[in-house]
Chain A
Amino acid sequence: MIQYLAPIAFLGLAIGVQSQVGSDPVIHVLVQIPALAAAGYTLPVTARMPQIAVAPALILALVTGIIWMLPRSIDAALIDPFWSIAKFITLPLFLGLPLALAWGQMGPILKGFLKAQSISMLLFLAFLYTHSPVRLCNSYLEEDQIRLGLGFAYVALGLIVVWIAPVFVGTSETHEKDGKHGFS
C-alpha cells in the first residue's frame, strides 16, 4: 500500500489546486502539470519494459510533453472540459509513466541529452513568456504571463544546480570504475 502513497499524494495535489488554475498560470503550469506527470512517474510498476518499446515510450512521453507546453493547450484546458479531462489522463499515463519505464533502460548519454534539452527548453520558455509582445494565453493576465516566464527560469536554474553542477564535481570515479565508457 505504501508504494501508492507518492502517486496518490501527487494526484491529490493536482486535484487540490484545480480551483486556482483558472486564475494563476504559475499554479497551472508549474504545480499542477508537473504534479500530474509525477503521479504517473511514481506509479509502482515493477515490470521491466522490453527494450524494443523504450524508444516508442520515450517518443510518447516527449510528444505529450510538447503538446502540454503549447499555450493553446493550457487555454483549452481552462475552457473545454474535454481538454481538462485529457490533462488528468494524458499527463500521468502518457508522460509520467512511459518516461519512468523508459528511463531505467536509457544510456547515460541519452539521459544527459534529455536533461540538457529540458533545461534549454525551460530557458526558452522563460524568455518567450517574459518577452512576448502579445498575450500567449487568452485566459491569463499579461503580468501573470511574465510571472510564469520567471517561474520557468527559476525551475531551469534549480535543475542546473541539481543536474549539471554535480557533473563538474567529482563524478569521474564512476567512469574509472566502469571501463566500457572509456575511449580506448
Chain B
Amino acid sequence: MRQLIITTVAALLGCTTLWRATDGFRAITAEGARRVQISANPEPVPSVVLETMDGSWQSLNNPDSPVLLEFIYTTCPTICQTSGGDFAELRDFLLQYNLQVPMFSVSFDPETDTLENMQDYAKWHTATGMPWTVGRPLPQDLEPLLDLFRIIVIPDGWGGYQHNVAVLLINRDGAFSGAFDTRDYNAIRAALEKEL
C-alpha cells in the first residue's frame, strides 16, 4: 500500500513536471514555446525605424493599428521566397475581410539587402509598399530586434542563412503579442479582429 502511494505521488509529480516543461503539453519545440509564451505575455517593442524599399523611413510601431511583420533576407533561395509568397497571399486574404494593416518584410541582412535588392524582392512577390513593404533596420537595431522577436539566424555554410520563420504581430499598444505559421491565415485574421 505504501509503495502504491509513493509510486502514485512520484508519477503525479512526473506528469506535473512534464506539463510545465511543455507549457501544458502545447509546445515541444522552442518555436512552439515562444508562440505560447508571447501570446500570454506581450513584450513592448522599442521604437525602431526601418528604411523601406522606396528610401523613406517608417516606424515599425503604429499607434493607430496593429502591425504584421516577418524577417527575411532577399538573397534567400528557399524559405523566404516561400514565406514572401505566403505574405502576399495573407495580404490578399486580409483585404477580403477589409483588414488593412501595415505589413513589413524586415531584412536581417541589411548590408546585402540594398534598396535595389529590396525592390526586386518586393516586385517578385507583388509588395507594392501599401499595405506591404520591405525594409531594413539600422545595423545597430538589428540584434535587439532579433532578440526581441526571438529570431535565430545561422549561416548555412553556402553564403546564406537558415532562420525560424513566422508572421509576427505587434498590437496597438506597441507590444509583440503573437507569432503564427506563415500560412495560418485564419488565426492571424482572428488575432487582428480582436485588436480592431
Q: Which stretch, B20-28, B55-63, B123-131, touches the partner chain A?
A: B20-28
The reply to whether A63 and B14 form a contact with Cβ atoms under 8 Å apart is yes
Interface residues on A, range: 20 to 34
With a CB–CB cut-off of 8 A, which chain A residues contact B18? Answer: 63, 66-67
Most B C-beta atoms less than 10 A away, residue of A59, A79, A137, A140: A59
With a CB–CB cut-off of 8 A, which chain B residues contact A70? Answer: 21-22, 28-29
Count of chain A to chain B residue pairs whose CB atoms are closer than 8 Å in the complex: 69
The reply to whether B152 and A72 form a contact with Cβ atoms under 8 Å apart is no
Given the contacts A52-B2, A60-B10, A138 and B30 also touching, CB distance less than 8 Å: yes
Contact of A75 among B14, B21, B30 (CB under 8 A): B30
With a CB–CB cut-off of 8 A, which chain B residues contact A140? Answer: 154
Given the contacts A52-B3, A56-B6, A141-B156, A72 and B30 also touching, CB distance less than 8 Å: yes
B186 at the interface (CB under 8 A from A): no
Count of B interface residues, CB-CB < 8 Å: 27
Contact of A56 among B7, B22, B31, B157 (CB under 8 A): B7
* Interfacial residues of chain A within 115-169, with CB under 8 A of chain B in the complex: 134-142
Chain A contacts to B: CB under 8 angstroms: 51-53, 55-56, 59-60, 62-63, 66-67, 70-73, 75-76, 79, 134-142
Chain B contacts to A: CB under 8 angstroms: 2-3, 6-7, 9-11, 13-14, 17-18, 21-22, 27-33, 150, 152, 154, 156-157, 162, 164
Closest 9 pairs (CB-CB, A-B): A56-B10, A75-B30, A55-B7, A63-B14, A138-B152, A72-B30, A59-B10, A71-B29, A59-B14
